[in-house]
A and B are shown apart, each in its own frame.
Chain A
Amino acid sequence: MSANTLPEGTRPLVRARNVHKSFDQLEVLKGIDMDVMPGEVVVILGPSGSGKSTFLRCINHLESIQQGFIEVDGEQIGYKIRKDRLEKLSANGIAKQRRKIGMVFQQFNLYPHMTVLQNIIEAPIGIHGQSRKDATDNAMQLLERVGLSAKAGAYPRQLSGGQQQRVAIARALAIKPKLMLFDEPTSALDPELVGEVLATMRDLAKQGLTMIVVTHEIGFAKEAADRVVFMDGGHVVEMGKPEDVIGNPQHPRTQAFLSRFL
């Protein structure tokens, strides 16, 4: 929301230019350009296989790209410039870059051998050097925010899918990320549990967190997105305000995709 009121000339938090990605012979991203401003909520829609999840995973270098440029918060992801030449970063260098990016996965991926609280404080203590007390206090606040304070001592297996995903969101927020990536966060949930996760995400959007969300939830895109991106076949087909892209799609492929949800 705050994206609309940013001063002229603010540098985008995420800049992607001409991003190409192939798995062996199969080219899944065929030149993606995208800027995301600080505080902006971008929702990426598109049919399965359109490359939207792959693009999201390229932003924090879970997938490497074969051509193009991706920058987050002024740093080129996965590379550094040394003696005026572009050089691949070491694994630890990439790990450092990822520390300001939170990620929420389709399958939640909570650490099953740790309690809810241990899941949340693992990265703040181990990677960001917080004291156990600070990390625990912060974790309890986050659990309160996602409505799960009572579950701090439970193991992930004891929670429903919706609860697990809310814990996963709290875990990602605990590192105080500048950017949050959501990779189909509600796709693995039973229909009656989708609402609670979307409500949590809507809250975050209102609070001005920069978010890139890959999803099939058109309703969420309409309500919470500052901008909607429609991808198909490895291209960005259409991009704009939700009322334009969803309410009045111009491209036939966007129209065909959206007609299935009406």
Chain B
Amino acid sequence: MSTATTTTNAPPSGGADFRDVVTAHAPFRTGRLVLWLVVLLVAADFIWICAHNDGFDWPVVGQYFFNPTVISGLYVSLGLTVVGMILGIVMGLVIAIARLSQDRLASGFASLFIWFFRGTPLLVQLIFWYNLSTLFPRIGLSIPFGPTLIDWDTNSVITPMTAAIVGLALNEAAYMAEIIRAGLLSVDRGQAETAEAFGMTRARALWRIIIPQAMRSIVPPTGNQLISMIKATSLVSVIAMADLLYSVQSIYNSTFQIVPMLLVAVIWYLLITSVLNIGQSYLEAYYSRSERRGATAAHPAPAAAIEEASH
């Protein structure tokens, strides 16, 4: 019996000893090495070509990288991103909650909002807001079909700045609403039910129980949105808002150094998005802290807790 088992388990080479996997080697793969060499060669060649192409005009890139006009454009782009994103998230949250509500009026309004602002190009929306005065020369508050309480001249309210903020924020709100709605739906139904059973109001249950859990699935796509928002701010250059792209355009319109000036903008956009990627990974780690078994954030769990968790 025992001889039979030994024979079946023995390696085909006939070696009777048991070789511990600790001694195993990774096999040498010639194919991988060749592939690496080819790719590195092509990349090096490409960099060489770019560096020696006078069209890129790298000295000009360096010369204008910290140009005051470029920097002020950068601030405008960043400012628009931050304001547009904050307004977009706040409005998106409200619209997501309205969309999920039992109330037909609220969910109907939310659906209509999302349908319209997601369904039309942002560029068109921006131009539309900028030209609002041709439709409504004056805007104000009034009783429907009744007297006007207060009003302003549209052209004094809608500057390139306000048109840009309104356009970016409303468009962002429509996308954020769908992201937040998906996040809220991803939380186990039992959690809302438990909060309800404990007598929490809907608002409190959302704020304390549902939203913190939804954040884990809301943060990654929101990071995506933030990055596309930074790039979307470049669209405001069409309504004469002096953002980063508009600034480099205004410079190359007089110097005709189109490619190097665009490179200035490209490098700045890449720098910002890289920083944001790092921030996003920290946020993701924060909202998944209760997922980790080993350590707890506030109170280090006694070793026994970890041990017992295994059953």
Contact = CB atoms under 8 A, between A and B. Distances in A.
B190 A105 contact: yes
Interface stretch (B3-11, B75-83, B124-132, B291-299): B291-299
Contacts, number: 98
B20 interface: no
6 contacts: A99-B199, A101-B199, A113-B213, A126-B200, A151-B305, A160-B308
A158 B199 contact: no
A122 interface: yes
Per DSSP, chain A at the interface is loop
Given A62-B193, A112-B213, A123-B200, A153 B309 contact: no
Contact of A150 (B293, B304, B311): B304
Contacts of B212: 113
Interface stretch (A4-12, A90-98, A232-240): A90-98
Nearest to B299: A153
A98 B199 contact: yes
A14 B302 CA distance: 42
B194 interface: yes
Given A112-B290, A126-B204, A163 B308 contact: yes
Contacts of A62: 193, 196-197
A109 B190 contact: yes
Contacts of A175: 198-199
Interface string A196-225: 000000000000000000000000000000
A91 B201 contact: yes
Interface of A: 60, 62, 91-92, 95-99, 101, 103, 105, 107, 109, 111-115, 122-123, 126-127, 150-160, 163, 175, 190
Contacts of B300: 153
Interface string B174-199: 00000000000000101101101111
Given A159-B308, A160-B309, A111 B209 contact: yes
B106 interface: no
B138 interface: no
A155 B299 CA distance: 10
Contacts of A126: 200, 204, 208
A127 B304 CA distance: 33
Contacts of A96: 199
Contacts of A151: 301, 305
A175 B196 CA distance: 14
B133 to A, nearest CB: 44
A115 B18 CA distance: 47
Contact of A95 (B200, B293, B305): B200
Given A111-B194, A111-B213, 19 more contacts: A62-B193, A91-B202, A98-B199, A101-B199, A105-B197, A109-B190, A111-B191, A111-B209, A113-B213, A126-B200, A127-B204, A153-B296, A153-B298, A158-B301, A158-B305, A158-B309, A160-B309, A175-B199, A190-B311
A98 B208 contact: no
Nearest to B306: A158
Contacts of B197: 60, 62, 98, 101, 103, 105
Contacts of B296: 115, 153-155, 158
A95 B201 contact: yes
Interface in B185-244: 188, 190-191, 193-194, 196-202, 204, 208-209, 212-213
